[in-house]
Structure 1
Amino acid sequence: MNATRRSLGLLGLAAALALPAAAAAQDGRRVVTGADARQGVNLTVYNNNLALVRETRRVELPNGTFVLRYEDVAKAVRPETVYIRDVSDPAAVTVLEQNYRYDILTPSRLMELYVGQDLTLVRENPATGQESRVRANLLSTGSVPQANYGYYDPYSYGGGYYAAPSYVDPAGAVYRTDEGITFGNVGRVVFPAVPDTFVARPTLEWLLRSTGGARTIEATYLTYGLSWQSDYVLVLTEDEKQGDLAGWVTLRNDAGITLKDVRLQLVAGDVQIEPQYGGYYGYGYGYGRGGGYGGAGFAEEGMFEYHLYTLGRNTDVADREQKQIQLLGVDGIPIEKKFRLQGDSYYFVGEYGAPMENLQVGVFVEFVNAHSAGLGVALPAGVVRVYKADSSGAQQFIGEDRIQHTPREERIELRLGNAFDIAAERKQTDYEILSSNLYETAWEIKLRNRKTETVVVEVLEPMAGDWEILEKSHDYVKESARLVRFDMTCPPDQEVVLTYRVRTRY
């Protein structure tokens, strides 16, 4: 008896929920709101091709149950993330049902929906040019329906599995006319009306119950297709001891929506995004002197384990647009220039008969993201492009490197390329196998500086296994358990020779 009552209760509840929807559909009570009703938009863009849209619209709502058609949303919206509420009185609007409509009007889709229905074929007499109209019933589009073995496409409508739409050739369609069954070039197809299922653009629809009146509705949703990246320009002074750093944000909008007068915020950091439907989500110039950090640019603040950058003014974000906004501009940053010769750990367990010539000496510039240098802020990951003026004063590009998200007071290292005027070669002068897992090798490294000033070359030797340096011509620094650094001072036009012997146990 109790089970029967529960079943009847559930049926009654389902019927009660269905009644408002049916009544709203029968009454035709539908409210349409578009971009012209927007009062405010907040756009938060993440590094990984994802954005959060939060917007408010002023809408006149009827009393009772009705359908709210919410137009002008992002093409790549994730419908399952949509949230709607009344800003001033959340209890004034109740959501009964939510739909995302993306059945966009196309000739092929129109043909598919008119299968089994009447339409008109307009025929032209080629001799006279006179048109005649024939009533016809569309029996088949002539295309074979394809199984939806779709692939995941976050840019498709709804951001989910996407099956490429079938193409319908009107000449391949099959019709029934008073003359019989026909197909081929039977005339121009004229449809009597556009079905209600079509929308001009992706649209959200809600079945709502409201107390009525002018309400401020806030809608929030995640969308794909919006991403940003940081790009930096570092201009070195003539003596290469200082640099002017300018940072730019490059914002790209492929989300299928244009937003005007937007409060723009950017989140830097690796935000975890759970893959949907087995799909894959990725984790997201010019130069000039800036006017400092913040102001009309971006203001930075910590948020959870990420960093949030808020633009100090509103801006427009157009669909299919790439926009650049200055992030920071700081002059006179102290710069260190370094030269490095990098070795390899496998050198110490093998025998090498011939010398290794023409080794590349890398050139690096380093600076500290320090408050004392005018920085001291969280720097988002991006590419730093470095310039220096030539003798005529024209800026020349001298290299670039990518930095990761860098907290304040941390050192930034940029590799710009290889030194042209520093030659290096390495030669193994002795190799002994003392036992099955014990080796002794001796090395000679020659450095020749063809520059006009003295430089210091850091020779980095990654050691293997358990190691011990038995003999050496120069002192070294043990940077880690398996890394040794020799700082070699190289005067102009002189050759400097480093020798050492190392015992290695595996």
Structure 2
Amino acid sequence: MAKVFKRICKGECIMPFKLSNKNTTALAVTVYNEDFAVVKEKRNIEGYNEEEYVHYMDVSEKIETDSVIVKGLTIQELNFDYDLVEKKKLLKKYIDRTVYLVDREKDTKQEYRLLSVDDGLVLEDSKTNEIILDPKEELILPKLPDGLIVKPSLIWKVKPSKTDLVDVTYTTGGLKWHSNYVINLKQHTLDLTGWVLLNNQSGTTFENAQLKLIAGDVNRVHDSITSLYEKVPYEASMVVQSEANFEEKSFNDYHLYTLQGKTTLKNHQEKQITLLDKENISFKRYYEYSFGEEQADIILEFANTKENHLGLPLPKGKVKVYSEDASDKSLEFIGEDRIEHTPKEEIVKLSLGQAFDIVCETRSTDKYKEGKNEYFAYEYVIKNRKDEEITMVIDHPIRHIHWQMVDTTHDYKKINANTIEFNIQIPANQQATIQFKYRVNKSINVNL
């Protein structure tokens, strides 16, 4: 069992038991999409027979103190000490106290009184009372002042206990994750690789931790003050772990991903871990156009099913799509989109950009009244300038409730009460014209 200790200072002041991460026997971190995580930790502690203070060190700088759960100890009072050591803060603690100036070349050490640190150092010679401004010599402080700590810590006042293990759970900010996906688009199938990108800005390194990820939008109440620390610029290092394996399961209306094995999440580090790697996924490619738009959108669509070599919950994230240039076998970027959290057995639909070689024209061709009815006629002209046949999907909005189709050149599908959809094939280097007319009973109709 790892040892903890206490010190007795002058005046019979009892310093607390100190529990650092060296006492840790188990560590688990569950990271959420929304910039927070839950830390679960077990540490060894010696039993004691009197009321004591426990100094629980090496916690996250962005800990939410109202989230702390402790098992194994009966806590009467909890404090969070975060007055961390900083140069100016440290110097201010020594104003009107004794400090020393050391000249290493001359091997001298002189005693001074620190007067001010606001606009440079101002010192008074303890022997001559001379005032020294911004000395060149090395400034030595006797010791770390009371009240300043190197790392944020929890201080607990606890009742007597014979336990040898304390179990602590808390929520912290500064940790987040999201998914990124890469598609290699082939002639008839695609390959899909998914990555998890973890970012640790909690101010703490989590060594040898069991890692879990929660996918889903968890509701949280945000206070006006969200952190004890201001956000500052940082340079994050990137670590790529390409042979990891996550085990996925449904968990309380969310999805839980558990990394097989353990990992270390260093402070100011981004870590990229493989989430999935699937091949030979069938897809559909078509073009989509709606009334009033200028160009047709390029759509890539595939089924998230086992039959299609997938069938996994896909956390939300950005999807980049590449396609091979047959002339030199190199991959070229052809577009990207975002997906929301997508359950299995659903369709993934990506919009990659706007088609260069497809020209779309639309216009209102007629509008007139006959008695209680009003008639509306439209025309779509789609020109396929590509050297291959295309599938074209056209959505047309109808801004009336009580309408009825009177005439149409093509079959259509009613998507909802106010949208119809035409799905047509257009041969290479040809064009198609869609014409339709619908009637609205104005005596009962309400415009949308």
TM-score interval (norm. to shorter): 0.7 to 0.9
Number of the residue aligned with 1:99: 79
Structure 1 segment 155-234 matched on structure 2, within 5 A: 168-171=118-121, 184-185=133-134, 190-212=140-162, 215-234=164-183
The CA deviation string for residues 400-451 of structure 1, in whole angstroms up to 9 with x for no partner, is 111111111111111111222211112333344779x975443222111122
Once the 2 structures are TM-superposed, how far is the Cα of residue 170 of structure 1 from its aligned partner? 3.5
Residue pair 2:42, 2:167 contacting (<8 A) in 1 also: yes
Number of the residue aligned with 1:236: 185
- Matching residue within 85, 92, 95 for 1:112: 92
Q: Where do 5+ consecutive residues of structure 2 fail to align? A: 1-7, 228-241
CA distance in structure 1 between the partners assigned to 2:247 and 2:220 by the alignment:
25
Number of the residue aligned with 2:419: 483
Instruction: Kindly indicate whether residue 407 of structure 2 is the aligned counterpart of residue 471 of structure 1.
Output: yes
Number of the residue aligned with 1:452: 387
Number of the residue aligned with 2:215: 268
CA distance in structure 1 between the partners assigned to 2:143 and 2:226 by the alignment:
38
CA distance in structure 1 between the partners assigned to 2:439 and 2:132 by the alignment:
87
Number of the residue aligned with 1:8: none
What TM-score, normalized to structure 2?
A: 0.83
CA distance in structure 1 between the partners assigned to 2:354 and 2:415 by the alignment:
23
Q: Secondary structure at the match of 2:46?
A: strand
* Change in CA separation of 1:25 and 1:470 when aligned onto 2, cut-off 3 Å: farther
* Change in CA separation of 1:122 and 1:393 when aligned onto 2, cut-off 3 Å: closer
The CA deviation string for residues 284-308 of structure 1, in whole angstroms up to 9 with x for no partner, is xxxxxx99xxxx5111111111111
| RMSD between aligned residues | 3.3
- Give the letter for the 2:156 counterpart: W
Q: Secondary structure at the match of 1:380?
A: coil
* Change in CA separation of 1:181 and 1:501 when aligned onto 2, cut-off 3 Å: farther
Instruction: Kindly indicate whether residue 262 of structure 2 is the aligned counterpart of residue 314 of structure 1.
Output: yes
Q: Secondary structure at the match of 1:103?
A: coil
The CA deviation string for residues 177-236 of structure 1, in whole angstroms up to 9 with x for no partner, is 7877968547866543321211111112222333457x1222111110100001112222
Number of the residue aligned with 2:284: 336
Residue pair 1:123, 1:187 contacting (<8 A) in 2 also: no
Residue pair 1:42, 1:263 contacting (<8 A) in 2 also: yes
Once the 2 structures are TM-superposed, how far is the Cα of residue 470 of structure 1 from its aligned partner? 3.0
Once the 2 structures are TM-superposed, how far is the Cα of residue 130 of structure 1 from its aligned partner? 9.7
- Give the letter for the 2:216 counterpart: G
Number of the residue aligned with 1:164: none
Once the 2 structures are TM-superposed, how far is the Cα of residue 61 of structure 1 from its aligned partner? 4.3
Number of the residue aligned with 1:83: 69
CA distance in structure 1 between the partners assigned to 2:78 and 2:29 by the alignment:
23
CA distance in structure 2 between the partners assigned to 1:462 and 1:184 by the alignment:
77
Instruction: Kindly indicate whether residue 193 of structure 2 is the aligned counterpart of residue 258 of structure 1.
Output: no
CA distance in structure 1 between the partners assigned to 2:323 and 2:353 by the alignment:
14
Number of the residue aligned with 1:380: 315
Number of the residue aligned with 1:32: 18
Number of the residue aligned with 1:283: none
Once the 2 structures are TM-superposed, how far is the Cα of residue 41 of structure 1 from its aligned partner? 0.7
Once the 2 structures are TM-superposed, how far is the Cα of residue 176 of structure 1 from its aligned partner? 9.9
- Matching residue within 333, 346, 353 for 1:410: 346
Q: Secondary structure at the match of 1:60?
A: coil
* Change in CA separation of 1:320 and 1:122 when aligned onto 2, cut-off 3 Å: closer
CA distance in structure 2 between the partners assigned to 1:320 and 1:123 by the alignment:
35
Structure 1 segment 367-446 matched on structure 2, within 5 A: 367-391=302-326, 392-432=328-368, 440-446=375-381
Q: Secondary structure at the match of 2:91?
A: helix
Residue pair 1:338, 1:456 contacting (<8 A) in 2 also: yes
CA distance in structure 1 between the partners assigned to 2:225 and 2:141 by the alignment:
40
Residue pair 1:456, 1:487 contacting (<8 A) in 2 also: yes
Once the 2 structures are TM-superposed, how far is the Cα of residue 56 of structure 1 from its aligned partner? 1.1
* Change in CA separation of 1:203 and 1:46 when aligned onto 2, cut-off 3 Å: same
More helix by share: 1
Q: Secondary structure at the match of 1:273?
A: coil
Number of the residue aligned with 1:365: 300
Once the 2 structures are TM-superposed, how far is the Cα of residue 323 of structure 1 from its aligned partner? 0.9
Aligned length: 419
Residue pair 2:393, 2:423 contacting (<8 A) in 1 also: yes
What TM-score, normalized to structure 1?
A: 0.74
More moved, 383-392 vs 422-431? 422-431
Q: Where do 5+ consecutive residues of structure 1 fail to align? A: 1-21, 87-92, 142-167, 281-289, 345-355
* Change in CA separation of 1:176 and 1:441 when aligned onto 2, cut-off 3 Å: farther
The CA deviation string for residues 110-159 of structure 1, in whole angstroms up to 9 with x for no partner, is 233334x43246499xxx98978454364x65xxxxxxxxxxxxxxxxxx
Q: Secondary structure at the match of 2:145?
A: coil
CA distance in structure 2 between the partners assigned to 1:227 and 1:137 by the alignment:
44
